[in-house]
Amino acid sequence: VPGVGAHRRFEFMLVGEDTKESISDEISIRTLIGQYIDPDKLEIARSAVYTFHGLTAENWRKGRLFLAGDAAHQMPPFAGQGMCSGIRDAHNLAFKLDMVIIKGGKGELLDSYEAERKPHVIAMSKGAIQIGKAIQTQDRTRSFFRNLQFALARNSEFIREQLRRNSIRKISYKRGLLGSNHKLSGQLSIQPTIVKEGDGEILLDEILGRDFIFLSVVNVPNDTKARFDSITGGRALQVGRSFQSQKLKNWMQSNRVDFLIIRPDRYIYDAGKVKDIGRVLESLKNMIKRK
């Protein structure tokens, strides 16, 4: 917006006889935008015609070469998950490379990158394609019911929640660098606000850093922290001692766990009761450490 400096982004779908050429000239763009806003109030900074894809590479690793981001997958942008997926890839691969190259972990750890990320990306792409079909439909009946759904959703949290559930959901990892003690294994950890002395109210993320974290709501045996550190190089934190968070405490209690092992990418390796700690740490050691 000249003089104001604000940017607006408009997206239109090519329909009927439209071609890349017929829609790209300034008059066509101003006519399209003119349906919603006075085009004379805008200066066109950039326009582009995109073709969306739902693609996933068959193999994400060949020896020392790894694919990540759009090189490994492309999805339509309707769920806003394309770059998010690339960031998840980078986070996943980066901490495993650190474990193997810097911390002397097993080379096989790197195979868990594709095992975890590929099914996740495929599920996200399917969700994005579903949303795209609803947004882009040319069918009058389908668009009538879609519009009705959204009109109702405006006033109903219940319908909004159903729409969210049917389109895109949190997807867990089923196979990879994961334990097998508790159903939280493979799920993304929650992100509550916590209260930490000196820092006040902050997000849990802010104190987790880049390490593996052993997070407990109870006192754990003294040798647990040393063992955890020797396996992962990570840190132990206790809710109620390292920081306060009733929400996190409630969530762990509702899942009936005393501890969680959170990976650097915030996925849960495994969880359990105090009596499970020895077994879970042993399985973690077997996954990470060279013989």
Ligand X SMILES: Cc1cc2nc3c(=O)[nH]c(=O)nc-3n(C[C@H](O)[C@H](O)[C@H](O)COP(=O)(O)OP(=O)(O)OC[C@H]3O[C@@H](n4cnc5c(N)ncnc54)[C@H](O)[C@@H]3O)c2cc1C
Q: Is 109 left (phi over 0), alpha (psi -120 to 50) or beta?
A: alpha
Report which residue type is found at 210: R
Give the total of residues touching ligand X (CB under 6 A).
10
Q: Please give the backbone phi and psi of residue 270, each rounded to the nearest 5 degrees, phi first.
A: -170, 175
Per the listing, tokens 């942008």 go with: 77
**Smaller CB distance to ligand X: residue 89 or 258?**
89
Cβ-based nearer residue to ligand X, 54 or 69:
69
Asked if 80 touches ligand X (CB under 6 A), the answer is yes
- Which of residues 13, 83, 101, 218 is near ligand X by CB under 6 A? 83
Residue 24 Cβ vs ligand X, minimum distance, rounded to whole Å:
15
Task: Give Dmax (Cα) for the chain.
Answer: 72
Binding mask 50-79 for ligand X (x = CB under 6 A): x------------------xx------x--
Q: Which two tokens stand for residue 28?
A: 């066509």
Distance, CA of 72 to CA of 88 (rounded, Å): 12
* 10 lies in the site for ligand X, by CB under 6 A: no
**Phi then psi dihedrals of residue 22, to 5 deg:** -70, -20
Using the rule CB under 6 A, give the single segment among 81-89, 109-117, 148-156, 166-174 that binds ligand X.
81-89
User: What are the residues facing 216 on neighbouring strands?
Assistant: 238, 259
Contact of 237 with 212, CB cutoff 8 Å: no
Q: Is 211 in the site for ligand X (CB under 6 A)?
A: no
**Exactly one of 86, 119, 192, 240 binds ligand X (CB under 6 A); which one?**
86
Instruction: Answer whether 208's CB lies under 8 Å from 191's CB.
Output: no
Of 69 and 233, CB closest to ligand X: 69
Q: Which is nearer to ligand X, 84 or 226 (CB)?
A: 84
**According to CB under 6 A, which residues from 122 to 151 bind ligand X?**
none
User: What distance in Å separates the CA atoms of residue 257 and residue 189, rounded to the nearest whole number?
Assistant: 13
Torsion angles phi and psi, residue 24, rounded to 5: -90, -15
Q: Which is nearer to ligand X, 74 or 216 (CB)?
A: 74
Residue whose C-beta lies closest to ligand X: 69
Pairing of strands 235-238, 213-216: parallel
Residue type, 165: R
Establish if 233 lies at the interface with ligand X (CB under 6 A).
Answer: no
Q: Is 13 in the site for ligand X (CB under 6 A)?
A: no
Per CB under 6 A, 82 contacts ligand X: yes
CB of 11 to ligand X, least distance (A): 7
Told to check if 81 binds ligand X by CB under 6 A, we report yes
Residue 49 or 148: the one with the smaller Cβ distance to ligand X is: 49
Query: Six-digit token pair at 230?
Result: 């020797």
Q: Which residues bind ligand X (CB under 6 A)?
A: 50, 69-70, 77, 80-84, 86
